[in-house]
Amino acid sequence: MKVRVEKLAFAYEDFRLEVGELIFPDARVTSVVGPNGAGKSTFLKCLASVLPAPPRTIFVDGRDLAALRGRERARLVAYVPQEASFTFNYAVLDFILTGRAAFLPTFGAPTSLDVALAEEALCYVGLDGQLRRSFFELSSGERRLVLIARALAQGSDVLLLDEPTSFLDPRHEVETMALCRRLADEKGKTIIVTLHNLEMAVRYSDGMVFMKNGRVVASGPPRQTLSEPLLRSVYDMEMRIVECAGWVFFAK
Amino acid sequence: MGAGPSRPDSPPVAVTDSLGRHVQIPARVGRVLSLEPEVTRIIVALGAGDRLVGIDFFLRHQDRLFPMLFPASRALPVVSNQGQDLNFELAISLRPDVVFASPSEPAAADAIARRLRTPVAALASVGRFRSLLEEMATIGRVLGRQERAAWLAAHFRDRLSGLAAALGPVRDADAPRVYLSFWGSLLRTPVAYEPVDAARGTNCAAGLLPSYLGTAGATVPIETIIRWDPEVILVQGNYPPGERRVTVESVLGDPRLASVRAVRTGRVHYTFGFWYWWDPALVLVETLYLARLFYPERFPGFDLEAEGNAAYKEFYGVEGAFSALDKVLGCHDWLRK
Amino acid sequence: MTGSASKTRAWLTWAALALPVVLLVLSLNLGSYPIPLKAVWTTLTHAPATGPGAAPTPYADILFRVRLPRLLLALFAGAALAVSGASLQALFQNPLVFEFSLGISYGAAFGAALSLVFLGRAFPPQLAAFAMAVLAVLLVVLIAGRSASGIVPVLLSGIIVSALFQALLSLVEFVANPYALQALIFWLMGSLSQAAWGDLAVTLPVIGLGVLILILLRWRMNVLSLGDDEARALGVNVRREKALVIAVATLVTAAATSVTGVINWVGLIVPHLVRMAVGADNRKVLPLSAAFGASLLIVADDIARSAASFEIPIGILTSVVGIPFFIVLLKRSGRVWR
């Protein structure tokens, strides 16, 4: 499903987010990049309705997100936070099952169908067999995958991932981004990720959005949008774009 | 007015109080602070009320009768609240020569002595006549009113012996078993209440350990009351009827007690009970009243009001005090069954 | 998981849920009035035949009017305290939260005291208890502010609010006439001795309904325990559902407290023990907490009324067990919580 943003203006504490017109294409991976404090997370949270965006600014599949009830909205958009809150040591299966909340009534409990969907999601991210392990026992990479599995079990077409590669080692970084790629290509999901790692962004995204100071500075396919002057203005530092063996590197 | 007949260089009076503390009190006591209503009442009965410099919250604001017994009490400053929380600054400013405290708070007596640098004696009868009479004697010694104290004690003992003579020998098996419901709860009962014993009844709770040192009360499970199966149940009635939590009617109507003898035979009555311990005049009347309650055939001409007024006249020199109390408590009804 | 292991699990679960009922039946034999075992059985089974004025022995009175209501109160109150404790822990994402640390206990106690002292016995104290308990929770949430999911701010504001209501309670004690005061102090220490059918007629159904609602919401609490943001992203109407859980948990606690006085620590100990045994999934934690909370209070009350010739206030018993347990909990780096 296509995600369209139109004249989103959102003030949050001392910060002001302003996005004019932006389109996240269907079944594509779009990464949102920018320096710290650019507003990437804030933007994502608005898309996820974690922060209350004004009405008629965010449209998913043509429908105004703010006008939808929570249940319907969650069936369209899933949010993968950077860190899961893990006060209680749930089993992996139970954790993923919470993703089914949008499909269950207030007094309801998961059925065997929900369990099957949860198992399927876990298999897809490559953690089959880990159902009964407890959340605390997992490594941070595995936890990240479980969070994505939950979003998958949620059945939404739009997945928002906040810094999914942070604190991961290179191998897990690549695995996570490869998973995002597969979700878009194989399952047709619309993936929007915020990233710090420009190399990963260029390698795995179909489109990139550059943000700075709460505004979108540039957007479009990576190779067409990238330029050294752009990088200099966004990151306030000199960077050189180097291409080598099919990868694009940024020498600082 | 002034201190009693003791010479200025008399030795201090040695007193052992209810907590076993040994206290030295100066021979001349002109200013007295009493935090213990029972002690205050005794001081007034001994005719030394003019030496009181302060009074506790209860006697000033909640005891209906005391202002009638000692009208000057209305002018006395209130130094404590509900028996606790002595207003130390006020107490110090009143410069008492001695302080009488309650033994219910063992640590408080020492604390007061330390802060006021005044001798403190903790006295209470805790349900026993001997303690009451000793207490009267002690206070008499301290205030130089020994003769009056001795006279009142003798009067007290005489009435009790007269009662014993009128009762005659009573076998233990014939003495009615009595359960006392005090302190606003069906389940709280005093482990020692001598008026019952002197009236030849048996307190079911005698021998139980009190809840803590310095008090007379214990809490029993309701099954224990049923097991005791008392013949008479006495409900504390020294409160205005509107404030009573436990009443004769509520006991008679309590379905849990339906099998108890006292409830089945309707022998549930009010008695006076503790009201911040005792008033020596009232407890004497209560003993006579209970004897009449337990053995009505032996005291056919018993007139509660007359006896009450006589006792109060004897102790406090006030006419009609018991009748005034009766207006508040409605106790003239208690024998009408 | 193999078939036989899950069968054993199921059997154990049913046994755990039946435990309070079993304990109740066994506890009918305990009490300071000695009733032979056989007599208990005959009295229970021939209940309709035993009318008033029939047998001179008060067995029926004691069993049906003294012990049974008291045990039922223990069962319901124990379940209420444990389930509301577990629910609040999930909601506030904080396993150290229970009705005491949120000020509910003393709020309810203050409300009930207010009602008992000024409105008399005719007026059911549960209403005032509930009103004040809700006020206490609102104050805690207000004082803790936006960081209501952080452990320290919630505990701190809970302590502040508890202290506030304790002070107000002291004020009530101060102005109460000595008669009411005596009764109030005794009640405050926590006791099931006031269990009479009159009080229970209102309290038991309220508690039963509230506990049922909380148990029906048990899976939902898994979701709510993830935090407001995540729960909202998952499509849950966080404000409404949190308000519902808090209201019901407060209601059952207040209803129980208004009859029993303050009985602390059950809401903390029981859910934690259950989590240690079966994990954090609230689908299991809540019903088992109810069962074990009920069982715990029945056993504690058995001790309170049978151990000595006088009545030990049950609040003191649970404190004596609960406080060291709380200290141990604070020191451990938990297996089931961070």
Instruction: For residue A102, give the nearest of C220, C226, C235 by CB distance.
Output: C235
Q: What are the structural domains, with CATH classification, of chain B? A: 13-152 (3.40.50.1980), 171-333 (3.40.50.1980)
Instruction: Band the pLDDT of A159: cuts 50, 70, 90.
Output: very high
Q: Do C193 and B222 touch (CB under 8 A)?
A: yes
Q: Do A101 and C223 touch (CB under 8 A)?
A: yes
What does the alpha-carbon distance between residue B299 and residue B306 come to, in Å, rounded to a whole number? Answer: 14
Residue of A nearest to C241 (CA): A106
**Is B187 touching C (CB cutoff 8 A)?**
yes
Instruction: For residue C182, give the nearest of B183, B209, B259 by CB distance.
Output: B183
> Which tokens hold the place of B56?
């506790």
Q: Do C217 and A88 touch (CB under 8 A)?
A: no
**Chains A and C share 3 or more Cβ pairs within 8 Å:** yes
Q: Do C62 and B184 touch (CB under 8 A)?
A: no
C16 residue type, one letter:
A
Q: Where are the alpha helices (DSSP H) in chain B?
A: 37-45, 57-61, 66-69, 88-93, 106-116, 129-143, 146-167, 194-198, 222-228, 248-253, 261-264, 280-294, 304-316, 321-329
Exposure on the CB side of residue A220, measured as CA atoms within 13 A: 8
What does the alpha-carbon distance between residue A119 and residue A128 come to, in Å, rounded to a whole number? Answer: 7
Instruction: For residue B243, give the nearest of C32, C58, C179 by CB distance.
Output: C179
Structure-model confidence comparison of residues C3 and A193, the more confident one = A193
Instruction: For residue C62, give the nearest of B82, B208, B226 by CB distance.
Output: B226
What is the mean pLDDT of the segment spanning A168-196? 91
Note the pLDDT tens digit of each residue in B114-151. Answer: 888 899 999 988 888 999 999 999 999 999 999 999 99
CB within 8 Å of C18: residues ≥ 6 apart: none
Q: Do C233 and A50 touch (CB under 8 A)?
A: yes
**Is B57 touching C (CB cutoff 8 A)?**
no
Q: Low-confidence residues of chain C, pLDDT below 70?
A: 1-5, 47-57, 120-122, 145-152, 177-183, 186-187, 189-190, 194, 308-310, 329-330, 332-338
| Residue A211 DSSP class | E
Q: What are the structural domains, with CATH classification, of chain C? A: 62-331 (1.10.3470.10)
What does the alpha-carbon distance between residue B36 and residue B17 come to, in Å, rounded to a whole number? Answer: 13
Q: Do A88 and C280 touch (CB under 8 A)?
A: yes
DSSP H or E stretch at residue A194: strand A190-195
Helices C3-27 & C282-306 angle (0-180, nearest 10): 30
Instruction: For residue A132, give the nearest of C1, C149, C232 by CB distance.
Output: C1
C-alpha distance across the termini of chain A, in Å: 37
Q: Do C183 and B223 touch (CB under 8 A)?
A: no
- Chains B, C: CB contacts within 8 A come to 88
Note the pLDDT tens digit of each residue in C212-262. Answer: 999 999 999 999 999 888 999 999 998 889 889 988 998 898 888 888 888
In this prediction, residue B19 carries a pLDDT of 84
ipTM, interface predicted TM-score of the complex: 0.88
What is the mean pLDDT of the segment spanning B187-208? 91
Instruction: For residue A109, give the nearest of C219, C226, C241 by CB distance.
Output: C219
Instruction: Band the pLDDT of B2: cuts 50, 70, 90.
Output: very low
Residue of C nearest to A96 (CA): C223
CB within 8 Å of C32: residues ≥ 6 apart: B221, B223, B224, B227, C305, C306, C309
Which of C216, C224, C236, C248 should one mutate to test binding to chain A, selecting the residue with the greatest count of A CBs within 10 A? C236
Q: Is A189 left (phi over 0), alpha (psi -120 to 50) or beta?
A: beta
Residue B178 has pLDDT above 60, yes or no: yes
In this prediction, residue B49 carries a pLDDT of 92
Q: Do B219 and C180 touch (CB under 8 A)?
A: no
Residue B167 has pLDDT above 70, yes or no: yes
Q: How far is B60 from chain C (nearest CA, A)?
A: 13
Residue of B nearest to C307 (CA): B221
**Concatenated DSSP letters for B95-142?**
--SEEEE-TTSHHHHHHHHHHHTS-EEE---TT-HHHHHHHHHHHHHH
Instruction: For residue A81, give the nearest of C90, C217, C230 by CB distance.
Output: C230
Q: What are the structural domains, with CATH classification, of chain A? A: 3-83+156-251 (3.40.50.300)
Residue A2 has pLDDT above 80, yes or no: yes
Which of C29, C33, C173 should one mutate to test binding to chain B, selecting the residue with the greatest count of B CBs within 10 A? C33
- List all chains that touch chain A, counting a touch as 3 or more CB pairs closer than 8 Å: C
Q: How deeply is B239 buried, as exposed, middle or buried, from its count of CB atoms within 10 A (0-12, 13-18, 19+)?
A: buried
**Concatenated DSSP letters for A113-164?**
HHHHHHHHHHHHTT-TT-TTSBGGGS-HHHHHHHHHHHHHHTT-SEEEEEST
**Is C50 touching A (CB cutoff 8 A)?**
no
Which of C172, C173, C311 should one mutate to test binding to chain B, selecting the residue with the greatest count of B CBs within 10 A? C311
Chain A residue numbers touching C235 (CB-CB < 8 A): 70-75, 101-102
Q: Do C62 and B276 touch (CB under 8 A)?
A: no
- Chains A, C: CB contacts within 8 A come to 94
> Which tokens hold the place of C69?
């209501």
In this prediction, residue C224 carries a pLDDT of 93
Q: Do C310 and B211 touch (CB under 8 A)?
A: yes
Chain A residue numbers touching C209 (CB-CB < 8 A): none
| Residue B184 DSSP class | T
- Across chain B, how many H-helices and E-strands are there? 14, 13
